[in-house]
Amino acid sequence: MSNQQNSIMPLPQQFVADIRQIITTARANAVRSVDFCRVQMYWNLGKRILEEEQQGKARADYGTYLIRNLAKEIEPEYGSGFGERQLKFCRQFYREYPIVNTLRSQLNWSQYRMLIQIPDHDKREYYELEAINNAWTGRELQRQIDSMLYERLLMSNDKEAVLAVARKERIPESPMEIIKQPTVLEFLGLKREAAYYEKDLEQAIITHIADFMLEFGKGFSFVARQKRILLEDDEFFADLVFYNRLLRCFVIVELKTGELTHQDLGQLQMYVNYYDRNEKLPEENPSIGILLCSRKNDTLVRTTLPEDNTTILASEYQFYLPTEEQLINEIDEVKSNFNKDDKK
């Protein structure tokens, strides 16, 4: 009887959790170890290819000849991962990372292949560091590169400040160091030519909340949707509420699918005031309000808000990834608006 009782006695939950954690961690470490061995293999291939190329440098086309014929030799035996295109990546990989000790075990080969195609050294370093800091998958890294995250951050920050945050040399001190212009929401799958209500946009964001926080910036956690705010007998509802652990403050997000008005900014300011007076702890920083809109008038925003405003931001959203030309036009427009205000 005692043996039967022992066989069905429930195990301590913490013990089971610890065992699961040991297995999960070991499996993850094994995958990372295999991935990094693959990275080192491609690095060594690139090194050996470049050494052989340099021996025949008198012939301008020797490198192309070498890689093409090497692929013919080894691809039938080892598979498509050793074709001509892949071997060219190996050679480029070694050129961009000539010191093996600079390779980071947190990144896999697919991520390195994305990085070596970025010619700008600072830009490449930014994505490399942020991929590690935020544990981005290959898909997430590709998405951030495609959405031109680095360039969008430079619209409101200088390059050294952006790199210092990525290098963990400083912590962001203002919302402008985190929030991008514009906010890109292509992952929602909404058509850009269609008209949407705020509730449709909000529901799409909730459905894709992980992607939204990845796009929105570093340090965000989701707090509430349609947060009820009661002021005497009047009810108000803030669309989305987040908390940012880096800025150490609440972030209230209002969605606007129509044209931005000064009333929208005033309502958002009211929500921010409410959080500062009723939700914020003494040691936390002032709350921030972000108005996500389809179109914004920068002059209206700056005229409506106090000159020393640092807590209310308006950011345009778009349902498609920006092209380099579109982003350059956006940067020029922002600079032009600031110059006009400075002359007044």
pLDDT at 278: 95
pLDDT at 58: 58
Q: Kindly indicate the confidence band of residue 240, based on its pLDDT and cuts at 50, 70 and 90.
A: very high
CA 193, 199, 200, 201 torsion-angle sign = positive
Look up residue 224 and give its amino acid. A
pLDDT at 341 over 60: no
Instruction: Let me know: does 216 contact 179? Beta carbons within 8 Å.
Output: yes
pLDDT at 338: 47
CA dihedral 37, 40, 42, 46 (to 10 degrees): -170
**Alpha carbons 43 and 90: distance in angstroms, whole number:** 6
- The lowest-confidence range among 64-73, 118-127, 334-343 is 334-343
Residue 297: how many CB atoms within 10 A of its CB?
Answer: 16
pLDDT by residue (tens digit) across 243-299?
999 899 999 999 998 888 889 999 999 999 999 999 999 999 999 999 998 888 778
Q: Kindly indicate the confidence band of residue 119, based on its pLDDT and cuts at 50, 70 and 90.
A: very high
Residue 259: how many CB atoms within 10 A of its CB?
Answer: 12
pLDDT by residue (tens digit) across 81-107?
899 999 999 999 999 999 989 999 899
Look up residue 272 and give its amino acid. V
pLDDT by residue (tens digit) across 12-66?
888 788 778 888 888 887 877 888 999 999 999 999 998 888 876 656 577 778 8
pLDDT at 260: 86
pLDDT at 258: 81
Per the structure block, which two tokens stand in for 217?
Answer: 């910036």
217: alpha, beta or left? (left if phi > 0; alpha if psi -120 to 50):
left
Q: What is the mean pLDDT of residues 150-155?
A: 88
Q: Kindly indicate the confidence band of residue 1, based on its pLDDT and cuts at 50, 70 and 90.
A: very low
Phi and psi at residue 249, to the nearest 5°: -160, 160
**Alpha carbons 156 and 177: distance in angstroms, whole number:** 7
Phi and psi at residue 339, to the nearest 5°: -65, -40
pLDDT at 337 over 70: no
pLDDT at 91: 93
Half-sphere exposure of 323 toward its Cβ, with a 13 Å CA cutoff? 3
- Angle, CA 132 vertex, CA 156 and CA 253 arms, to 5°: 45
pLDDT by residue (tens digit) across 162-202?
999 999 999 888 888 877 878 899 999 888 767 778 899 99
**Sheet holding 234-244: strands in order across?**
183-184, 312-318, 288-295, 249-259, 234-244, 220-231
pLDDT at 342 over 60: no
pLDDT at 211: 93
pLDDT at 90: 94
Q: Which of 113, 111, 106 is nearest to 87 (CA)?
A: 113
Beta strand ranges found along the chain (DSSP E): 183-184, 220-231, 234-244, 249-259, 288-295, 312-318
